[in-house]
Amino acid sequence: MIVHRLFSLLGLCGLLSVAPVHAQARTLRAVASFTVLADVVAHVGGTHVTVTSLVPPDGDPHEFEPSPDDARQLRQADIVFMSGEGLESWFGRLAHAASYHGQPVIVSSAIQAYTPPGAQQAETDPHVWNSVPNVVIWTNTIRDALIAADPEDADSFRASASAYVTQLQALDQDIRSRISAIPADRRRVLTSHDAFGYYGRAYGVTFMAPQGLSTETEASAGNVATLIRQIHQTGITTYFMENATDPRLVQQVARATGAQPGGELYAEALSPPGGPAPDYITMMRHNTDLMVAAMRPR
C-alpha cells in the first residue's frame, strides 16, 4: 500500500517535473560567427533563440583573434552559424581549441558565390550579404536549421522568417529604385575595402578599391600613383574610408585627386547598438544613403 503510494507520488513528481519543460519549449543557445549573421539569426529565431556573435561589433571577421571566452561560448552552444566561403578562416583553429565537435550551419552554401576575375588562386568573394537576395537565402537556410534543432517552435520560426523576408524584399526594392535614379555613368564608388562586390553586381554600382592599400601588403609608390591616375581618369569625387586600411593613405590618395570623404560604410560588421548600423537592414540603408549621396551629380 505504502509502496504504491510512494510510486504514485514519484510518478506525479516526475510528470510535474517534465511538464514545465514541455510547456516552456527550449531556448536555443545560438552562436554566430559575426554580427551581421547574428542579427539575421536573431530575427528568424525571435524569443526562442539567444544569439551571440563571436566577432564583436566593428570587428573584422577576416582577422579575428578568438579569446578563451569565445571557446567557452562555442562549447556551450546548441547551434552554430557560419557564413562560409572562406570568410571565417579562424574558425577551424577555434573549434579545435574549444574541442567543438559539432557541425556549424554554413548559411552561404546555397548561394552562388562569385569569383572575381584575376583573383589569386580562384578565391571566391565571401561578402555575400551585401546583396539582399543572398540574405533572403540565408534567412531560409537559418529557418530550416532552427526548425531541425527545435521542432516544437517550427511555426514560430516560419512566421518570423517570412516576416523578415518581406522586410528584406522591401529593402531590396528600395535600394534598386534609388540606384536607378542615379545616371548610369555616375554609378561609381571608391572605397578601401573590397567587400561590396555582391552589392555592385546586384545593384549596378562599380566599386573601385585603392590598389596596394589593402590590409595585407605595405603600400608601394607605384601602386598609389596608378590609383591616383585611375581616379583622375574616371572622375570619382567621393571616397569611403574603412577602419582596416591606414586612413592616412586613403586621405593621401583622395587629396591628390580632389575627392572628399563620404562617411563610414559598414561592410562586414554592424556598429554597436546606438550606432548608425545596429542591425542588418539599417546597415544596408545607411550604406546606400551614403553611396547614393556620393554618386549623385553635384
Partner 1 sequence: MSLLSDLWDPFASFGFMRRALVASITLGMGAGPVGVMLQLRRMSLIGDAMSHAILPGAAVGFLLAGGLSLTAMGLGGIVAGLGVALLAGLVSRRTHLAEDASFASFYLTSLALGVLIVSARGSNIDLLHVLFGTILAIDGPALYLMGGITTLSLCLLSIIWRPLVMECVDPGFMRMTGSRGGVYHMVFLFLVVINLVAGFEALGTLMSVGMMMVPAATARLWTRRLLPMMALSAGVGMAAGLTGLLVSYHFSLAAGPSIILTCSILYVVSLLASPTGLRAGRGASSWQGS
Residues that bind partner 1 (CB under 8 A): 59-60, 63, 65, 212, 215, 217-225, 228, 243-249, 251-253, 255-256
Alpha-carbon distance values, 92 to 38, 71, 96, 97, 107 (Å): 19, 11, 6, 9, 16
Decide whether 150 or 242 has the Cβ nearer to partner 1.
Answer: 242
For residue 86, the minimal CB distance to partner 1 (Å) is 18
190: β partners? 208, 239
Decide whether 167 or 226 has the Cβ nearer to partner 1.
Answer: 226
Alpha-carbon distance values, 93 to 89, 97, 167 (Å): 8, 6, 36
For residue 33, the minimal CB distance to partner 1 (Å) is 17
Decide whether 167 or 211 has the Cβ nearer to partner 1.
Answer: 211
Q: Which residue has the cell 534609388?
A: 178
Provide the phi-psi class of 42: left if phi over 0, else alpha when psi is between -120 and 50, else beta. Answer: alpha
For residue 249, the minimal CB distance to partner 1 (Å) is 4
Calculate the dihedral angle through the C-alpha atoms of 133, 136, 142, 146, rounding to the nearest 10 degrees: -170
For residue 232, the minimal CB distance to partner 1 (Å) is 10
| HSE toward the beta carbon, residue 95, CA cutoff 13 A | 16
For residue 65, the minimal CB distance to partner 1 (Å) is 7
CB 253, CB 227: distance < 8 Å:
yes
49: β partners? 28
- CA–CA separation, 165 and 281 (whole Å): 11
For residue 217, the minimal CB distance to partner 1 (Å) is 7
The residues, ordered by sequence, that sit 6+ positions from 64 with a Cβ below 8 Å of its Cβ are 34, 54, 55, 88, 90
Decide whether 219 or 291 has the Cβ nearer to partner 1.
Answer: 219
Alpha-carbon distance values, 117 to 7, 79, 121, 198 (Å): 73, 35, 10, 14
Decide whether 132 or 241 has the Cβ nearer to partner 1.
Answer: 241
Decide whether 27 or 215 has the Cβ nearer to partner 1.
Answer: 215
Decide whether 63 or 152 has the Cβ nearer to partner 1.
Answer: 63
For residue 224, the minimal CB distance to partner 1 (Å) is 6
